[in-house]
Each structure stands twice: as structure tokens, then as C-alpha cells.
Chain A
Amino acid sequence: MTNTLNISLNGISFHFTSARKNRFFSDVSTSFEVNKIHFIRGKNGAGKSTLFRLMNGTIFSGEYIKGTFTLDGTSYNLSLEHARTSLKEHVRQVPQKFDLMLADNFSFEENLSMANMPRLPFLAPLAKQYSIPDFLVDQFEIDFTVPVRRLSGGQRQILAILMALQKPTKILLLDEPTAALDHKNARMVIHFLQELIRLNPLLTVLIICHDTELVETYAQDNYYEIVVHQNSQRSIDVIPLTQKN
């Protein structure tokens, strides 16, 4: 029976070409507890970003994929395009270069308004149909009216995350969100994510992060590590924090 409290990858096999030999991922399975922040680590080239791409349901022409992704009790067969399209409805990703998601000459509020525009924007006035959590106003001292380029890196990262969350989201994928930030801003972003998780019981956040201190400080019980074995096989290992310490 499927555990609806978990998000799971089941028997994932993937390669960048249709050749079935030397698969990038071969029969990989793992699960993530819902409504938590999970950290994912791994060396360069281990496949962290590729894993996010698969979880996001993005498969390019000619690539080989097999396996299922279970979310909220529903199983999505990743080899089927319509299943991947359905999966995309629930998953949002903020890329490492999060500034690409922002129009930095515009204010925080204007960016949020524009993110909510229809597919074909036309002659309707730019409506203020967005939601800003109350805690954001109280805790993060963000000026919503100045151009976004005047905000700190952490505040811009928060905006990028908020913009990704303007549509209903169950999984938020963050690819190295703190890589370009100093320690203070990195902590601010994680605190923001903790508040989001607290307020939204259906949301789960997965973060690719290389910062050991950050992972050990903010991961609750464990973190995930993509390990490349000698035979180029990959596995996603769950590393308990107590073992690491």
C-alpha cells in the first residue's frame, strides 16, 4: 500500500540516450517525508540536477526513462508524457541562477503581479492577484516597492521562491539556492523556507546544497547523498546526521 505521507521515486532508470547500457540511473529508489525540508548532496556530475529534472517531469527527446514517481498517493509513470505533464502541475523548481526568474527593474509587488498574468497577456490592467505571507512582512524587512535589484541576494531568492509558489505546489525544488549568498542571507532563506513549511502542510522542499554547515544545522534527521560507485552505478543514500557527527 502506498504511504500518502511520503514522496517516492520507485525503480528509476534513466539515460541521456535511448541506449539501455551504461544507464545514468539504474533502478534507483528513494522516498522523502512530506512537509519537511530535505537536503541533497553529491559531487559534481553525480546527478543532483538531473534528479531534479526527472522529479520535475522534464525529459528531452531521445532520452530513456523508466520508473514511477509517487506523490500524494498518486503514482506517475515517468515514461508516459501525459503523466509527466500531470506531475509538472505539482512541482516547481527555482534554478541556481534565480535572478533569471525576476525582472529586476520592477518592484517585488510588480514581479508577483506579472507572474500571475495569463499565458497571453493583453489589454486588461495588471491586477494585484498575489499572496504575500504575513510573516514575510514582519520578519524579513523587505521593501515591496523598490526595484528588486536594490534588494539583497537573500531577499531576491525569497522573491523567486514566492513567485514559483504563486500556483498550487506540492514539491519545491531548489537548486543550490544559497550558493551565491553570504551566511546571513543563506540563513534568512532557510528560515523563510521553514516558515513556509510550517504554514503549508502539503508542501515539501528539496534543496541541493553543498554547504556542510548549513545542512548539519538545518537538516532535521538526515540528508540525502547521490553516490557514484566504481562501476558508475548511482545510488541515493540516506545519511543520518548522528552518523555524520
Chain B
Amino acid sequence: MQTVIPVLLETTSMTFPLVLAAYITISLMKVPDLSLESAFVCGASVGTRVLFMTNHLPLPACAFLVILSSILGGAAVGITSSSLTSYAKFPHLLSSILTMGIFYGLNQCILGTSNISVASKTNLLAQIMPLKRFPELPTLALTFCVLAILAGLFLRTQLGTSLAAYGNNPQFFSHYGISTRFIFISGILLSNGLAGLAGFFDTETQGFVDISMGNLKALSAITAIILGKTVIRSKKTSSLLVPLVGTILYFVIRQTLVKATFFDHKLFTMVESMIVAGLLATKFSRRGENENPHDLGV
């Protein structure tokens, strides 16, 4: 139990940017943004590469450049997929798949190999009051709080509200001279930038970056959002509580399953998916306006 809570806090803080990213595109904008997985890897790859290049600089400068580059790495994926959708008029699912193909090769070029260890470099997440067994936890928790506050403020802005309105009716803006393309690209860009940041956090925590580290990340994020939407019944069109509570719940379930001994852990993801399916089935078996599967936005 002594390790469960710190692990829960660390994994929640580490994954929150990715769940927030999925919340913006998949839940609010209702866009099938699979390129989040590529953004996750690209953010990690670019961040790692810049970490290697700037490791000799003073810590604040190095940290700033690495964080910025990981966000920009993710955003580069976002601008590619959203441009394919906006300018080439591809369906976004196709744009995402094509982007994943493009960036699989690019990420390998950036890394130079399929995986790199960052163990020999300064761990940027272990610089603020590092705990003995969980050195990254204080920094990650601090980042989590800052990100939550910024996201809460952002969702109240014109752009934040527009992202939710886009998911409600993508044709809405064209009637009032508002640029739908700007809103779409901004949303995907922001979301993929967050996924890139989550990718770098993952790299620092695990100690290495791997070309396939993004696999199934979108599924994890969607599961967290579904859990959040199952529990949180907000009347608002967007609520930060959904990704927040969803992430915590997701890792509570995961940690519970990790500790469980009643099943073979080869079936881990199967049991995890069945629990989520069971929760959703319970939710939708109830009648009422809020029990519409479409409201999940996934």
C-alpha cells in the first residue's frame, strides 16, 4: 500500500497530458485522432535528441529547450494530420493513418535507431525535491497541477469553447464568418503538442525512448475518458474533471489488476477492456438523456 499511492500519483501525473490531449480532440472535437500515438513518440524522440544536444547547458535552459521541443515535436504531427484534413480534404481518420506512416519513418531518422537509453543524461524530472524511490514524482505532480489549472482556464476561452462547439456542429462557424479551419488546426495542434509532452515524460520515467512506445496509447487515453465520462455528469459542454478523474480511475483499475492474483496476467489487457465494457454497458442500460453513447464523443 505504501508504494501504491505514489505509483498511482506518478502514473496519473505522467499520463494526464496524453488524456487531456485525447479529451480535446476525441471527446470535445469528436475527431478520430489516432495520430496522438505518433505525436507521443515524436515528442519523446525530439525531446530526447534535444536533451542529448543541450545536456551541457545550465539546467533551466536545457529543461526549457527539451520541454519546448517535445511539445513542438508533437505539434508537428498535429499540423501534418490537420493540414491533410483541412487542405487536402482527406477524412481525418485517413489523415491520421497517413501521418502515422510518415512519422514512423521520421521518428526513426530522428532517433537514428529504434530505441535510445537516456540513463546517462540528466533526468530533468528528478531535479525538484527528488524522493528516494520516486524521484520524478514531485516534478510530475507540480506539472500536473500547472497543466490542470491552465487547461481549466483554456476551456473557458473563445478557442476552448470553440473546440467543444466544433464537436457539436462543425458547420456552426461558417455561418458567422469564423474560421472553421483555424479552430480545427488549433485543436489538433494543441492536443498533439500535449501528447508529445506526455511522450517525453514517459521517456524520462522509463529511462529510454522506443519507436513503438506509442502503441495502444490512444486506447488507454480513450479508456480513461470513458471512465471519466461514466462518473462525471457535468451539465457543461466541457469539464476538466472528465480527463482528471478518468486518468485517476484508469490507473486505480490498472493498479488493482496488477495486484490481483485471480487471473493470468497474460490476460491483463483483456480483463481491463472487459471491465471498461461492463461499466459502459451498465451506464447505457439506464435510460435518460445523459446515457447517449454519442455523448461520450469517442
Contact = CB atoms under 8 A, between A and B. Distances in A.
Question: Interface SS of chain A: helix, strand, loop or mixed?
Answer: loop
Contacts of B171: 100
A76 to B, nearest CB: 19
A126 B175 CA distance: 18
A103 B237 CA distance: 10
Interface residues of B, number: 21
19 contacts: A100-B171, A100-B175, A101-B175, A102-B169, A102-B172, A103-B168, A105-B164, A105-B237, A115-B175, A117-B162, A117-B176, A117-B178, A120-B182, A121-B159, A123-B157, A123-B159, A125-B157, A126-B158, A126-B161
| The 8 residue pairs across chains A and B that have the minimum distance between CB atoms | A121-B158, A103-B168, A103-B165, A105-B168, A115-B176, A101-B175, A123-B157, A121-B162
Nearest to B166: A103
Contacts of A105: 164, 168, 237
Contacts of B162: 114, 117, 121
Interface string B263-278: 0000000000000000
A104 interface: yes
A100 B174 CA distance: 10
Nearest to B238: A105
A166 to B, nearest CB: 8
Contacts of B172: 100-103, 114
Nearest to A98: B175
B90 interface: no
B165 A114 contact: yes
Contacts of A117: 158, 162, 176, 178
B154 A123 contact: yes
Interface string A127-167: 00000000000000000000000000000000000011010
B194 interface: no
B183 interface: yes
Contacts of A104: 168-169
Interface string A95-112: 000001111111000100
B157 A103 contact: no
B177 interface: yes
B179 interface: yes
Given A102-B169, A106-B237, A119 B157 contact: no
Which has the most chain B C-beta neighbours within 10 Å: A117, A118, A163, A164?
A117
Contacts of B158: 117-118, 121-126
